[in-house]
Structure 1
Amino acid sequence: MNYDTFVDQVAQRTRTSSERAVGLTRATLETLAERLTGGEVLDLAAQLPKPLQLVLKPCPRIEAADRFGAAEFVARVGQRAGVDENVARDGVCAVFITLREAVTGGEFDDLVTQMPRDYRDMVEPALAPNATLRRA
């Protein structure tokens, strides 16, 4: 999947502008890079388009992951993207769904195994067949 398609998918799933989708994507990937082990970040980045690879850098540049829960993940994404919690949560779900489409199934499964149970609400929509973000 190329960069424009990735951003377009996030924009469609969040029903927002491309500019906001870029911000949500970057914020989610930066936060994900903090949450995953360094090796997993590099494996994930290798399957993404170059502009997204640049966002996914192990932070800090060590193997260990920063352990924080789903609420903190959403808060960090919201702060980075300059959006409220609901918009951030929708953005995170949309990025996870798009990541699942953009990388091999095994790579996405590896990412999911590093997430604790409290991430389930954000990750499970990406695991469903024909996953799409549904808004009430």
Structure 2
Amino acid sequence: MQTVEYFDRVQQRADLETSDEASRMTSSVLGVFGTLDLRGELKDAAAQLPQEIGPMLFAREASESFSASEFVTALGTELNVSEAEAEKAATAVLTTLREALSDGEFLGVNAVLPDDFHRFLTER
């Protein structure tokens, strides 16, 4: 998947007006998601993403453990949107992430992903 296609899919899923909005949303969602301690699985996943998108997973230093609800709250604060809009953003970006990965790589990430995060990974 190329960068333009990634942002187009996020834009469509999140009902955004521009690709720039999709880019900013993707950066925020992947930035926060990248702080989740997934035991190194994101490094291999990032290698399969477009060159401009993979590094977004590592834009922040800390590795931590948090719930999906805490993730949504953090996104809402960062994006300055309601929790419902933050949930929609997470689903748009992380579903597109899932589509961009090979089945094997997705299974690796999915194996260490906390169960409550699966709600963000819809349709394939």
TM-score range, shorter chain: 0.7 to 0.9
Q: Identity across aligned pairs (percent)? A: 32
1:78 Cα offset (Å): 2.0
8 Å CA contact 1:78–1:85 kept in 2: the answer is yes
8 Å CA contact 1:31–1:73 kept in 2: the answer is yes
Q: Supply the distance in 2 between the matched residues of 1:50 and 1:99 (Cα, whole angstroms).
A: 13
8 Å CA contact 1:24–1:77 kept in 2: the answer is no
- Larger mean Cα displacement after TM superposition, 22-31 or 75-84: 75-84
- Larger mean Cα displacement after TM superposition, 14-23 or 83-92: 14-23
Let me know the Cα RMSD of the aligned residues. 1.9
Across the two proteins, how many residue pairs are aligned to each other? Answer: 123
Deviation beyond 3 Å, 4+ runs, structure 1 = none
In structure 2, stretches of 5+ residues that fail to align are none
Identify if the C-alpha distance between structure 1 residues 108 and 43 changes in structure 2 by more than 3 Å, giving closer, same or farther: same
Q: Supply the distance in 1 between the matched residues of 2:14 and 2:76 (Cα, whole angstroms).
A: 14
Match in the other structure for 2:45: 44
1:59 Cα offset (Å): 4.5
Match in the other structure for 1:15: 15
1:69 Cα offset (Å): 0.1
Match in the other structure for 2:92: 94
In structure 1, stretches of 5+ residues that fail to align are 132-136
